[in-house]
């Protein structure tokens, strides 16, 4: 297969996949103490090998490890940064519309840095197992650390080092720069920053709640873009970095709603990522008009839901892609699920075969909308 474009691709994925039952069972055995860490790692490797084979079989041009080694899409990465610690919580600072995940949060305890991380080992295994196929690595956005520790937390008090918040933004960006270059050294050429902060800033009720606590969300949005741009400013030329914006995804539930207009000019107009993966699978995401602020970034339209098994009507999806092209040229558009299939280890409310049917539908639609986008 000869690829005619650079990532993100016309038919792409967000990253996470449903954990197979044998992996879920192994994790439970590990937590119960009946198998050792080495045994769990071997079972994770087996599951990832099978996933990569399936991704290739379905024609995906970039493969992921499905986030099979993680509990959560975000906390596992952030808690391993130098200066950050995970702590138990009585409840989540955001409320999903239905099931609630096991509560945990983060605290900033010391200087933020990136000196070593298990995710480097995770990527190294993925890269080796993919045998030459492009590998996509997903990590939470720099914004998430500040959002969780300093905005969502109602009793946040900065440590002495971060009495001036500018120092915190600077250290987070520097840590991410280190991470980006270390992933690159291991062969990573496609990195995705997952981010729910922008989804929250689109939500009227959440905006009102944060503003009632004294937050200037316009200022925070500008600082987040500055921090992200600083983190990625010296990325190598052949490395693609994208951002996925999410409104929450736990067992097919969500916690934010609202169109992109409140953040569109700041984020789409000034953030220097190479592409945006945007939720557009329900009316909670609003219309396409905010896309008028997109510059040269690619826009991956999340028009296929990962939350429910019913397959979308291909004709309707194509109609919506054409509608989006009124604001962003068709050659800058791509298609994907609106989110991963398993943002936490519990997974969404569909089967593995239903998950793969969604991927096949995306491939079929991409072939029709962008004929010849690859040469098979």
pLDDT of the residue at 1: 45
pLDDT: is 136 or 73 the higher one? 136
In this predicted structure, the answer to whether residue 125 has a pLDDT above a threshold of 80 is yes
CATH number, position 178 = 3.20.20.210
Regarding pTM above 0.85, the answer is: yes
Domain count, the chain: 1
User: For the segment 300-338, what is each residue's pLDDT rounded down to a tens digit?
Assistant: 999 999 989 999 999 999 999 999 999 999 999 999 999
Assigned domain for 255 exists:
yes
Assigned domain for 25 exists:
no
Assigned domain for 43 exists:
no
Assigned domain for 265 exists:
yes
pLDDT of the residue at 216: 97
What would the mean pLDDT of 259-282 be, rounded to a whole number? Answer: 95
Cβ–Cβ < 8 Å for 193, 241: yes
Cβ–Cβ < 8 Å for 92, 142: no
Quote the domain boundaries for residue 157: 2-16+59-375
Assigned domain for 310 exists:
yes
pLDDT of the residue at 5: 74
Q: What is the mean pLDDT of the chain?
A: 92
Assigned domain for 266 exists:
yes
- Which pLDDT band, with edges at 50, 70 and 90, does 98 fall under? very low
Axis crossing angle, helix 118-130 with helix 37-57, rounded to the nearest 10: 40
pLDDT of the residue at 248: 61
Cβ–Cβ < 8 Å for 266, 225: yes
% of the chain at pLDDT higher than 70? 92
Assigned domain for 22 exists:
no
Tokens representing 51? 């996933």
Assigned domain for 341 exists:
yes
pLDDT of the residue at 249: 55
User: For the segment 180-193, what is each residue's pLDDT rounded down to a tens digit?
Assistant: 999 999 999 999 99
Alpha-carbon distances, residue 242 vs 31, 50, 189 (angstroms):
34, 26, 11
pLDDT of the residue at 344: 83
């Amino acid at each position: 297969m000869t690829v005619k474009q650079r990532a993100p691709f016309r038919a792409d994925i967000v990253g996470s996949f449903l954990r197979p039952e044998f992996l879920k069972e192994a994790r439970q055995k590990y937590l119960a103490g009946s198998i050792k860490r080495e045994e769990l790692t071997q079972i994770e490797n087996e599951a990832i090998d099978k996933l990569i084979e399936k991704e290739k079989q379905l024609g995906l041009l970039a493969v992921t490890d499905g986030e099979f080694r993680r509990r959560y899409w975000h906390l596992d990465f952030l808690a391993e940064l130098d200066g950050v610690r995970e702590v138990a919580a009585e409840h989540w600072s955001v409320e999903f519309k239905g099931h609630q995940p096991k509560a945990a949060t983060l605290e900033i305890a010391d200087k933020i840095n990136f000196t070593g991380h298990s995710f480097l080992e995770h990527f190294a295994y993925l890269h080796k197992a993919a045998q030459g196929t492009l590998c996509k690595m997903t990590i939470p956005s720099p914004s998430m650390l500040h959002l969780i520790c300093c905005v969502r937390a109602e009793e946040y008090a900065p440590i002495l080092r971060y009495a001036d918040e500018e120092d915190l933004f600077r250290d987070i960006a520097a840590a991410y720069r280190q991470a980006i270059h270390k992933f690159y050294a291991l062969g990573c050429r496609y990195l995705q920053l997952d981010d729910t902060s922008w989804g929250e800033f689109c939500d009227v009720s959440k905006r009102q709640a944060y503003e009632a606590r004294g937050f200037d969300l316009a200022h925070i949005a500008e600082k987040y873009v500055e921090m992200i741009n600083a983190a990625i400013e010296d990325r190598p030329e052949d490395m693609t970095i994208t951002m996925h914006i999410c409104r929450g995804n736990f067992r097919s539930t969500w916690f934010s709603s609202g169109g992109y207009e409140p953040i569109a000019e700041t984020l789409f107009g000034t953030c220097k990522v190479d592409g945006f993966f945007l939720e557009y699978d329900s009316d909670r995401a609003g219309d396409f008009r905010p896309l008028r602020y997109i510059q040269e970034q690619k826009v991956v339209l999340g028009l296929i839901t990962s939350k429910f098994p019913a397959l979308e009507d291909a004709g309707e999806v194509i109609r919506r892609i054409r509608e989006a092209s009124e604001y962003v040229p068709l050659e800058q558009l791509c298609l994907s699920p609106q989110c991963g299939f398993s943002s936490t280890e519990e997974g969404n409310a569909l089967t593995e075969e239903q998950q793969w049917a969604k991927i096949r539908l995306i491939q079929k639609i991409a072939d029709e909308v962008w004929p010849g986008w690859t040469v098979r």
